[in-house]
C-alpha cells in the first residue's frame, strides 16, 4: 500500500492530500530515509513524521484493507 494511502486509512493523517504534501516537503521518513508519497509501506517499517518541532514515530504492525478505527492494531507508537 502507498504511504499516503496508509497514513489516511490508519487515521494517522486525516486526508490523503495532506499526507502527500507532508511527504513531498520531506517531512516523512521511513527507516531513516525521506520518502515520496508513492513509497510502498511494509510491515516492520519505522515511520517518522515531523509536525513543527515535534517528531512522531511509529512501527507498522499490519497493512489494513480498509479504513479502521482501531489504530493500536495497525501501528505501535515509539
Identify the helix (H) or strand (E) that includes residue 6.
Answer: helix 3-9
pLDDT tens-digit readout, 17-36: 999 999 999 999 999 999 99
Please, what is the end-to-end C-alpha distance for the chain in angstroms? 21
Q: Is the pLDDT of residue 59 over 70?
A: yes
pLDDT of residue 29: 97
Distance between CA atoms of residues 69 and 46, nearest Å: 21
Domains of the chain: 3-77 (3.10.290.10)
Give CA separation, 68 vs 13, 17, 47, 54, 64, in Å. 13, 18, 18, 25, 7
Nearest 5 degrees, angle CA 27-CA 1-CA 5? Answer: 55
Q: Are 57 and 76 in contact (CB under 8 A)?
A: no
pLDDT of residue 68: 67
Q: Is the pLDDT of residue 53 over 90?
A: yes
Residue 69's pLDDT band (cuts 50, 70, 90): low
Amino acid at each position: 500500500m502507498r504511504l499516503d494511502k496508509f497514513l489516511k486509512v490508519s487515521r494517522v493523517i486525516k486526508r490523503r492530500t495532506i499526507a502527500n504534501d507532508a511527504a513531498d516537503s520531506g517531512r516523512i521518513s521511513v527507516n531513516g530515509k525521506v520518502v515520496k508519497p508513492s513509497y510502498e509501506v511494509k510491515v516492520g517499517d519505522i515511520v517518522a513524521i515531523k509536525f513543527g518541532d515535534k517528531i512522531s514515530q511509529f512501527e507498522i504492525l499490519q497493512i489494513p484493507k480498509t479504513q479502521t478505527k482501531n489504530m493500536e492494531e495497525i501501528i505501535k507508537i515509539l
